[in-house]
Amino acid sequence: ELNESRTELLNRIQGLKQDLKNWRSKLDTQVKIYRDVSSVCLAFLSKIFQPFCLFMLRLSVSRHATT
């Protein structure tokens, strides 16, 4: 009976280890997707706002040059 309990406990521990491994794998996948999407969004926003930022910088420089 003690051996059966021990075997059941070891099997449960192995199952929990596998569950944790699977969860970690899914989490790693989600983190990679998040990083990829964030990178694409950042590149997109940089392209959109770069001309605006350059315009504002030039405007600021020209205002300081005339004062």
pLDDT tens by residue, 3-62: 889 999 999 999 999 999 999 999 999 999 999 999 999 999 999 988 888 888 888 888
Residue 7 to residue 15: CA distance in whole angstroms? 12
DSSP state of 46: H
Which pTM was predicted? 0.62
Higher pLDDT, 25 or 63: 25
Residue 16 to residue 19: CA distance in whole angstroms? 5
Task: Indicate whether 2 pLDDT > 90.
Answer: no
Tokens for 15, please give them: 């199952």
Give the per-residue pLDDT at 6: 93
Closest CA to 6 of 38, 14, 61: 14
Task: Give residue 23's identity as a one-letter amino acid code.
Answer: W
